[in-house]
Structure 1
Amino acid sequence: MSELSPTQQASGLAKSVPLELVNSINQLAQSATPAKLLSEAERDSLKTKIKALLKEKNAQIVAHYYVDAELQALAEETGGKVADSLEMANFGAQSDADILVVCGVRFMGETAKMLSPEKTILMPDLEANCSLDIGCPAKEFAEFCKQYPDRKVVVYANTSVEVKAIADWVVTSGNALNIVNHLKEQGEKIIWAPDRHLGHWIQKETGMDMILWQGQCIVHNEFQVYELKSLKEKHPDAKVLVHPESPEEVVDLADVVGSTRVMIEAVRDLPDQEFIVATDLGIFYKMQQLAPEKKLIVAPTASKDGHCISCAHCPWMAMNGLENLYHCLRDSTGEILIEENIRQKALASVNRMLEFSRQAGLVKANK
């Protein structure tokens, strides 16, 4: 790939994800099999069995805000954790459990294994992936980075362990602004991957010299500005909460822009009674738990033709369910394994993130 012009660099343009890879990601998303629907009796039986296995095997559940509400509730009931990816990583590293069951997507399981190699890390379904991870292949990204040896490589947590092994820093949506501002103060320039919308927002907020890999999240990329404007007209008193992985014109309509935790805290703390939420609808469980009296409205993903790929819910997150959670605990299936040399390389960038975040007060010590 040829060197970018100064104009391209200033505007943050970089290599686009090939169309065939975009099409492949969409096909994988559409073919992802959601967890099986169960009767109330089946769900109750499975939860009883899972709780027994957690005690028997000294295991804990670590669940992301985007998985099914029943899994989030089960994690909390059994002493596990429901959190964003940064808090999940921090909790897992400090846990005394022998087994961590990560209800989320694959990169979250890999991060848990990186930080806790002595623990067994299980996932209900190892095929639960992430469009940002798939859209940033390690080999191609490594070749891209070689063209800019004077730049620090900063990658989003939604990447494979192999991509993290290339990076100088790993960040999440909750700490990216702080870390990029820190690097700017150090006089650094950076390569950013993989989410182009989040990268562009950070670039605007910080003024950092950034070259952006052009990946995108299939959930957040689908939020529609025209339809959001129409929804705002119907709900003029509603505050709009937007995750920065969303397109710029959607972010521009937001009252609050931020990570999952920022949006949850906004619903809890702001006096407003209505919120339009532009992120995965799995987050509604925690929002409603903290502010049950408030009205939450899903931001529109379908365009005027009524078509959407994700419809505000990650198809890979939806693969996590009670049945496959039970099976992975019972049979020790879905184990995350990482080559040690890759783990060590990736661990350096993840530890750098965690140490910075702890010093900056962005994560709390586990209790």
Structure 2
Amino acid sequence: MSSVTIQPQSYDYPAQNAAGITCTAQAWANVPPPLQATEKAAIVSRIKQLLKEKDAALVAHYYVDGDIQDLALETGGYVADSLEMARFGKNHSAKNLIVAGVRFMGETAKILSPEKRVFMPDLDATCSLDLGCDAKDFAKFRALHPDRVVVVYANTSAAVKAQADWMVTSSCALAIVHQLKLDGKKILWAPDRHLGRYIQEQTGADMLLWNGACIVHDEFRAVELELLKASHPHAMVLVHPESPQAVVDLADVVGSTSAMIKAVVDGTATEYIVATDKGILHRMRQLAPNKKLIEAPTAGNSATCKSCAHCPWMAMNGLQGILNCLETSSGEIFVAEPIRLKALTCIERMLDFTKNHPDLLAKAQHGFVKNIGAA
């Protein structure tokens, strides 16, 4: 790919750190307390029983607690990134879906499967990217640029997806944007500015970027990562593209959660520095028990926490919350039908593209070089 000059433009949304019931502090305050072993065993046993009785399937993201990931796999559910979660929920025969993740994942499941009841362990589990992209403000932004194709990241509300031409995840964003560029389209992108910049740099597409960020990935620090690399010279560095550019530039592998797991499982290195939510380490350790995994630093030595990379809203998912869904039908997701129908179009467009072009899906980028791509 030829070198391109990139001049990102950002719509400055000033309320990224939204206050209120779903603020970060409140999210951490609502993290379920640890369960005693006997209590945990009893809850897990009851959940397994009710999943069968109520024809329900448990779908979990890689970032939630390891006990929930294990329970999903043990009961015939699924553990995956947001793209595969969407596919699984749509194709599974269960009448009820329990989505352990954050709210936009539950909404996506409901959009794709309106005939099913969709529940979440805690409806307040949201996402900083979702919070930082208000649907009304986004509509105003979009109205200023009617000539652009609207591409939104999965980490947005149903109301924002209803305004989009395409929804993408980090697994397929590169391939879809690249195709749009080949088709001569100009793109309006939201909400993650780091992922948008990365895709813009890799594809050379004309992209106008919303100014949003993931609170987890935005905290990774290049200076600290360089020091960690120096102390582990043979480690391969894995970075999610939602991270700042200086961090991405230090990576051996840039990719989605699934791509990062694949890099560990298939890689020949014995050590891996992982720059994404630490929840992913649980599955990595299961699939590659002989590999050493090192958490990438989010701050310096003087900080209270040197590696705090864990989403507070993902942490709100707990076993008791799952049990409550099954026993009392709490945490049900509803999406208004007019919004659902509009949002369905952009999601199905993504699913059709990924089904018909599996060879084009983004793979982990090895040897990342600015403006060029995989070396």
TM-score (norm 2): 0.92
The match for 1:311 among 280, 286, 308 is 308
2:342 is the alignment partner of 1:345: yes
The answer to whether the 8 A contact 1:218-1:310 is kept is no
> Do the aligned partners of residues 299 and 356 (structure 1) sit closer, same or farther apart at CA in structure 2, a change above 3 Å counting?
same
CA RMSD across the alignment: 1.8
Aligned-pair CA distance for 1:22? 2.4
2:261 is the alignment partner of 1:255: no
Aligned-pair CA distance for 1:23? 5.8
> Do the aligned partners of residues 328 and 44 (structure 1) sit closer, same or farther apart at CA in structure 2, a change above 3 Å counting?
same
The match for 2:46 among 46, 49, 54 is 49
User: Matched residues in 2 for 1:205 and 1:102: separation?
Assistant: 32
The answer to whether the 8 A contact 2:153-2:191 is kept is yes
Identity of counterpart residues, as a percentage? 57
User: Matched residues in 2 for 1:182 and 1:224: separation?
Assistant: 32
Aligned-pair CA distance for 1:304? 4.6
Please give the secondary structure, in 2, of the residue aligned with 1:41. Answer: helix
> Do the aligned partners of residues 342 and 26 (structure 1) sit closer, same or farther apart at CA in structure 2, a change above 3 Å counting?
closer
CA deviation profile, 1:193-233 (whole Å, cap 9, x unmatched): 00000000000000000000010000000001111111111
Matches within 5 A, 1:232-251: 232-251=229-248
The aligned counterpart of 2:373 is none
The aligned counterpart of 1:24 is 19
> Do the aligned partners of residues 148 and 25 (structure 1) sit closer, same or farther apart at CA in structure 2, a change above 3 Å counting?
farther
TM-score (norm 1): 0.94
User: Matched residues in 2 for 1:74 and 1:93: separation?
Assistant: 20
CA deviation profile, 1:311-351 (whole Å, cap 9, x unmatched): 10000000001111111111111000010000000000000
Aligned-pair CA distance for 1:53? 0.2
User: Matched residues in 2 for 1:132 and 1:142: separation?
Assistant: 16
The aligned counterpart of 1:278 is 275
The answer to whether the 8 A contact 2:129-2:155 is kept is yes
User: Matched residues in 1 for 2:298 and 2:22: separation?
Assistant: 18
The answer to whether the 8 A contact 2:229-2:235 is kept is yes
Aligned-pair CA distance for 1:272? 0.5
Q: Which structure has the highest helix share of the two?
A: 1
> Do the aligned partners of residues 176 and 21 (structure 1) sit closer, same or farther apart at CA in structure 2, a change above 3 Å counting?
closer
User: Matched residues in 2 for 1:244 and 1:254: separation?
Assistant: 10
Matches within 5 A, 1:265-304: 265-304=262-301
The aligned counterpart of 1:34 is 31
Please give the secondary structure, in 2, of the residue aligned with 1:62. Answer: strand
Q: Which amino acid aligns with 1:11?
A: Q
Matches within 5 A, 1:1-367: 11-18=7-14, 20-22=15-17, 24=19, 28-32=23-27, 33-307=30-304, 311-361=308-358
The answer to whether the 8 A contact 2:22-2:125 is kept is no
The answer to whether the 8 A contact 1:26-1:309 is kept is no
The answer to whether the 8 A contact 2:300-2:306 is kept is no
CA deviation profile, 1:169-201 (whole Å, cap 9, x unmatched): 000000000000010111000000000000000
Q: Which amino acid aligns with 1:17?
A: Y
Which consecutive residues of structure 2, in runs of 5 or more, have no partner in the other structure? 362-375
The answer to whether the 8 A contact 1:36-1:323 is kept is no
The answer to whether the 8 A contact 1:218-1:309 is kept is no
Aligned-pair CA distance for 1:362? 6.9
User: Matched residues in 2 for 1:64 and 1:56: separation?
Assistant: 23
Aligned-pair CA distance for 1:289? 1.1
Q: Number of aligned pairs?
A: 355
The answer to whether the 8 A contact 1:175-1:362 is kept is no
Q: Which amino acid aligns with 2:343?
A: A
